[in-house]
Amino acid sequence: MTTSTSHRAELLMPAGSLSKLKTAILYGADAVYAGTPDLSLRTQSSFTLEELTEGVRFAHERGKKIYLTLNLFTHNKDVEKLPLFVKTVRKVKPDGLIVSDPGVFHFLKEHAPELELHVSTQANACSWLTVQSWQKQGASLCVLAREVSFGELCEIREKCPDIKLEAFIHGAMCMTYSGRCLLSNFLAERGANQGNCAQSCRWNYKVLARTKDGQEVEITPDNKDDYDFFLEEQYRPGELMKIEEDERGSYIMNAKDLCLMPKLDDYLALGVDSLKVEGRNKSEYYAAITARAYRLAIDAWYASPEDWRPDEFLRELYTLQSRGYSLGFHEGRLTNLAHNYDRTDTVGGWLYAGAITRWDGDDMIFLIRNPLRAGVILEFLAPGHFEPIRLRLYEFENSDTGQMTEKVAPGQGRSIRIPAAAFHSEDTVALKSLLPPLSVARTQTELSEERRTLLEGNLISLDMESGLRDSADERPTVKGKAHVGKAPTLGLDSCCGLGCNGCLMFWNDPRYDKARETLKAKKIGEML
pLDDT, tens digit, for every residue of 325-360? 888 888 886 665 655 655 555 667 789 999 999 999
Contact predicate 365/397, CB 8 Å: no
Q: At 488, is the pLDDT very low, low, confident or very high (cuts 50, 70, 90)?
A: very low
d(CA 498, CA 39): 44
Q: So what's the pLDDT on residue 328?
A: 86
Q: So what's the pLDDT on residue 173?
A: 76
Which SS3 state, helix, strand or coil, does residue 379 take?
strand
Q: So what's the pLDDT on residue 492?
A: 42
Contact predicate 498/469, CB 8 Å: no
Q: Is the model more confident about 244 or about 47?
A: 47
- 503: exposed, middle or buried (Cβ count in 10 Å: 0-12, 13-18, 19+): middle
Which SS3 state, helix, strand or coil, does residue 339 take?
strand
Which residue(s) pair with 392 in the sheet? 377
What letter does residue 482 receive in the DSSP assignment? E
Backbone φ/ψ region at 86: left (φ over 0), alpha (ψ -120 to 50), beta: alpha
What letter does residue 378 receive in the DSSP assignment? E
Residue 102 dihedral angles phi and psi, to the nearest 5°: -55, -35
d(CA 380, CA 364): 12
Among 131, 101, 124, smallest CA distance to 40 is for: 101
Q: Is the pLDDT of residue 121 over 80?
A: yes
Q: So what's the pLDDT on residue 345?
A: 59
- The domains of the chain, with CATH numbers, are 10-177+255-326 (3.20.20.70), 204-250 (no CATH), 350-444 (2.40.30.10), 449-520 (no CATH)
Q: Is the model more confident about 124 or about 324?
A: 124
Q: Which long-range contacts (CB under 8 A, 24 or more apart) does 126-130 make?
A: 126/152, 127/152, 127/156, 128/155, 128/156, 128/158, 128/159, 128/160
Q: So what's the pLDDT on residue 247?
A: 44
d(CA 387, CA 421): 20
Contact predicate 8/274, CB 8 Å: no
Q: Is the model more confident about 219 or about 303?
A: 303
Nearest 5°: CA angle at 481, between 479 and 486? 105
Listed in sequence order, the residues at least 6 apart from 513 whose beta carbon sits closer than 8 Å to its beta carbon are: none
Other CB atoms closer than 10 Å to residue 35's CB: what's the count?
27
pLDDT in tens, 375-421: 999 999 999 998 999 999 999 999 999 999 999 999 877 999 999 99
Which SS3 state, helix, strand or coil, does residue 519 take?
helix
Listed in sequence order, the residues at least 6 apart from 127 whose beta carbon sits closer than 8 Å to its beta carbon are: 152, 156
pLDDT in tens, 223-243: 766 766 666 666 666 666 655
Total length of the chain: 528
Listed in sequence order, the residues at least 6 apart from 371 whose beta carbon sits closer than 8 Å to its beta carbon are: 407, 408, 409, 410
pTM: 0.80
Contact predicate 16/284, CB 8 Å: no
Q: So what's the pLDDT on residue 239?
A: 60
Residue type, 56: V
d(CA 348, CA 45): 25
pLDDT in tens, 61-78: 999 999 999 888 888 988
Q: Is the pLDDT of residue 103 over 90?
A: yes
